[in-house]
Amino acid sequence: MFEASPINLKNLTRQKIFRFLLGSMTATLILPVALILGTLIVKGAPVISFDFLFTSPTNGMTAGGIFPALLGTILLVLVALLASVPLGVAAAIYLSEYAPDNWFTRAINLAIINLAGVPSIVHALFGLGAFVLFFRFGTSILAASLTLAVMTLPVVIVATRESLQAVPMAFREACWNMGATRWQTIRRIVLPNAVTGILTGVILEVSRTSGETAPIMFTGAVFFLPFLPQGVFDQTMALSLHLFVVSTQVPEMPEAVPYGVALVLIGMVLLMNSASIALRMYLRGKKKW
């Protein structure tokens, strides 16, 4: 048996202290989330039903369901993904694989960082001026989704670029030594090994676009529609705006309804994120390095 020296005992004590501090910080972060989810479940779960999810609001939004807002949120997120993911991945490929390190690319990187810090209300005014008025898309799903795509583009670019740079350079060199072109190397070697990081950016984008209110309020979302949207040039309801309306603008609103809407919104985000995480874990398990 070896007896611990004073130095070992001191190090063990420090380790326990730091473990306790880090665990306390983690609990401090998790506790508010657990309290919020618990409150939503307790107060919002009683109102969740098939009719609540798949019928339209009635009686001045004090009764009925949220189906138009639920469908509108899904459409906004899907169109925003279709617009931002290809463009963001292409920009990240250029910055990571093609662009030289000069003032121009450094300016682009600075612009991406600054764009990520722009408040959502500023993006809303940009979307109003660019997509609603200049391109004449009108207040529509397309204008709102493009505004969300511009707002979340830095997330996709940064996540994709980091995942591309994480692929070992030896993979590229081995492919080049076999006579492959740069694009063939990117398409067949780099991108397949970076797809898990790209999905991380997609997960973050889904989480943000689902809950944004200001950008869609000015560009395509409305308080109430008596019909479902028929195309991307129609207006739509959205869960985030619907939650704001039923929480602040509708008199005599049952207390459980806003909590139910918030619970559905969070549940939808978690469901989309879970699907992306499951796909990411499956692809990560197939990696050979």
**Please, what is the Cα angle at 274 between 166 and 191, to 5 degrees?**
30
Predicted local confidence at residue 42, as pLDDT: 93
DSSP 200-264: HHHHHHHHHHHH--HHHHHHTB-S--SS---STTS-B--HHHHHHHHHHT-TT--THHHHHHHHH
Phi, psi of 63, rounded to the nearest 5 degrees:
-140, 180
Q: For 10-30, how does the pLDDT look when each residue is reduced to its tens digit (9 = 90+)?
A: 888 889 899 999 989 988 888
pLDDT value for 156: 92
Q: Which band of pLDDT confidence, cut at 50, 70 and 90, is reported for residue 2?
A: low
What pLDDT is attached to residue 288? 61
**Hey, is 61 helix, strand or coil?**
coil
Give the model's confidence band at 116: pLDDT under 50 very low, under 70 low, under 90 confident, else very high: confident
Tens-place pLDDT, residues 178-191: 888 889 999 988 99
- Please tell me the distance from the alpha carbon of residue 179 to that of residue 193, in angstroms, as a whole number: 20
Tell whether the model's pLDDT for residue 126 goes beyond 90: yes
Confidence of residue 151 (pLDDT cuts 50, 70, 90): very high
Average the pLDDT over 79-103 and give the result.
92
Checking if the pLDDT of 1 tops 60, the result is no
Q: What confidence category does residue 54 fall into, taking pLDDT thresholds of 50, 70 and 90?
A: very high
Say what percent of the chain tops pLDDT 70. Answer: 97
Q: How confident is the model at residue 60 (pLDDT cuts 50, 70, 90)?
A: confident
Handedness of CA 62, 68, 65, 246 (dihedral sign): negative
Residue 76, token pair as written in the block: 């906004």
Mean pLDDT of the chain: 89
DSSP alpha helix (H) spans, the chain: 6-44, 50-54, 67-93, 103-116, 120-127, 141-166, 169-177, 182-185, 191-211, 214-219, 239-248, 256-285
Coil, strand or helix at 79: helix
C-alpha atoms less than 13 angstroms from C-alpha of 237 in its C-beta half-sphere: 23
As a whole-number percent, the residues of the chain with pLDDT over 90 amount to 46
Give yes or no for residue 177 having a pLDDT over 90: no
Ramachandran quadrant class, 22 (left: phi over 0; alpha: psi -120 to 50; beta: rest): alpha
The tens digit of pLDDT for each residue in 38-48 reads 999 999 999 99
What pLDDT score was predicted for residue 9? Answer: 79
Q: What are phi and psi of 236, to 5 degrees?
A: -155, 160
What is the 8-class DSSP label of residue 178? T
Spatial distance between the Cα atoms of 144 and 194, rounded to a whole number of angstroms: 29
Domain ranges of the chain: 68-285
Arch. (CATH architecture) of 68-285: Orthogonal Bundle (1.10)
Residue 115: band (very low, low, confident or very high) from pLDDT cuts 50, 70, 90:
confident
